[in-house]
Structure 1
Amino acid sequence: MGTIRENGSLYTKIDGKVAVVEFGHPASNSFVSELLDRLAEEIKSLSDNDTISVIILKSEGDRAFCAGASFSELMAVSNLAEGKVFFSGFANVINAMRNCKKVIVGRVQGKTVGGGVGLAAACDYVFASVNAAIRLSELTIGIAPLVIAPAVERKIGTAGISELSLAPTEWKSAYWAQEKGLFSKVFDDIKELDKELDFFVQKLASYNPEGLSEWKKVLWNNTDHWDTLLTERAAITGKLVLSEFTRNALVKFKK
């Protein structure tokens, strides 16, 4: 399964009990709305696929893992309804990952910004490269990481997300992210990362699928309210993006 379009590509490859989902976009693997919708649908469909028990989430290439939301689409938001829909994209993906019956293992090979940090946080286990620095840059353009905050905070705590988000121009290293609990393992080179990742998911896939599924529910305990919470947060972000401050910041940023 897979399609290539100017609005990004999404491929799923199933090998034994493991599904590898790979997203890509020419603009540093950022997400246009359509690609987020397709990813959410793909995760929902894999959740109900009884032949698999583990999902690997990865992105194309050997550079950025994910640059967050599409900048051009952000620029194009012109009213509250559009803003809510746009920011609901990441909300829907995070909720699909949270509700997914399969364990999701992230492969983060490079820099990750904004919504990309949310995606990594919504994985159940993350293999990262030493190049996988992270940043929450939302405040610099007048918005805030409201939608992804619950997922990120669940992993790195309030202190961690405060430190990350209130210094929006600062990159935090992969080791910082590991120490805080966002990344499970960090590797010096991609080849070793992939070897260890493969070994890890094969072992994971050999366990009782029902056991994994029941355990995942426990790991995500007390998050049922996210279905409404993240959508409410999307509406607030949509309002912020229409503010004069953000409009001016976006225009400057574009130049």
Structure 2
Amino acid sequence: MKAYVKSDIQNGIGTIEFFHPQSNSMPGSQLRNLASEIEKLGNDDEVKVIVLRSAGDRTFCAGASFDELISIKDSETGLEFFSGFAYVINAIRKATKFVLARIQGKAVGGGVGIASAADYTFATEFASVKLSELAVGIGPFVVGSAVERKVGNSAFTQMAINATEFQTAEWAKEKGLYADVFETIEEMDASINSLATKLANSNPEAMKHLKRVAWEGTENWDELLIERAKISGELVLSEFTINAINKFKAK
């Protein structure tokens, strides 16, 4: 199957689904399409709440596409690529509707950032998390802002430094990343549908103001996340990072 980002609107609930054959990894085009779809539903008066999900059973999002990372040859291209995660996070932040995230499986790197940026995040017990960026010579500079906002500096630093180890879904729930963790996808989906339906019938203006309050203090993220993307865009050109990515791809 080819990569895609698609959306659907039913009864006030806008559902966005993305897929990539390489464990739902994110090339730049996929990130731009995802950000665009979030922005589109965020501006659609028919949509009262947004549900963000990926296809498949065991991996929500494997983060940045290694194939695209290794193809970056200059800082401008690096900035453009890493800005993709900034666009997705800022699209979620600026949407006037609540974004509910469905994390059915592992979230790695940028996937953790997307899960953290959502306003309310559901997960299964298979949805372990890992910020793997340091292990390939870069760092979670862009997504780190969203992760730190959700789990706090201590838990964010733990994940960022211990970049080769997964933390369990229960750990993520304890730190505030996940609101609920379920044994099965079916139980999770029932809970998501229940909350989304309630929100679709709630006061849109009240939710708009509540979302603005929840995101207070992030007004500078349009500039901040691009500045962070520049750091990653330069580090990805280093010999260390190129060798590290190639080792990961060879596994």
Name the TM-score class by shorter chain: over 0.9
Report the Cα offset of residue 206 of structure 1. 1.1
Matches of 2:214 and 2:248 in 1, distance apart?
39
Read off the aligned partner of 1:81 and give its amino acid letter: E
Report the Cα offset of residue 46 of structure 1. 1.0
Provide structure 2 residue ranges, at least 5 long, that are not aligned to the other structure: none
Segments of 4+ moved more than 6 angstroms? none
Matches of 1:186 and 1:24 in 2, distance apart?
22
Query: What pairs up with 1:134-173 in 2 under 5 angstroms?
Result: 134-173=129-168
Q: Look up the match of 2:196.
A: 201
1:36 aligns with 2:31: yes
Read off the aligned partner of 2:178 and give its amino acid letter: F
Report the Cα offset of residue 164 of structure 1. 0.9
1:236 counterpart (202, 217, 231): 231
Report the Cα offset of residue 208 of structure 1. 0.3
Q: Look up the match of 1:186.
A: 181
Query: What pairs up with 1:3-42 in 2 under 5 angstroms?
Result: 6=2, 8-42=3-37
Q: Look up the match of 1:246.
A: 241
Q: Look up the match of 1:122.
A: 117
Listed one character per residue, the Cα deviations across residues 137-165 of structure 1 (whole Å, up to 9, x for unaligned) are: 11111000000111000000000001111
Q: Look up the match of 2:47.
A: 52
Provide structure 1 residue ranges, at least 5 long, that are not aligned to the other structure: none
Q: Look up the match of 2:170.
A: 175
Report the Cα offset of residue 187 of structure 1. 0.2
1:133 counterpart (122, 128, 132): 128
1:225 counterpart (198, 220, 244): 220
Listed one character per residue, the Cα deviations across residues 148-200 of structure 1 (whole Å, up to 9, x for unaligned) are: 11100000000000111111111100010000000000001111111111111
Matches of 1:89 and 1:141 in 2, distance apart?
19
Matches of 2:122 and 2:243 in 1, distance apart?
38
Read off the aligned partner of 2:18 and give its amino acid letter: F
Report the Cα offset of residue 254 of structure 1. 2.1
1:80 aligns with 2:104: no
Between 37-46 and 99-108, the greater mean CA deviation after superposition: 37-46
Between 231-240 and 39-48, the greater mean CA deviation after superposition: 39-48
TM-score, reference length from structure 2: 0.98
Read off the aligned partner of 1:121 and give its amino acid letter: S
TM-score, reference length from structure 1: 0.96
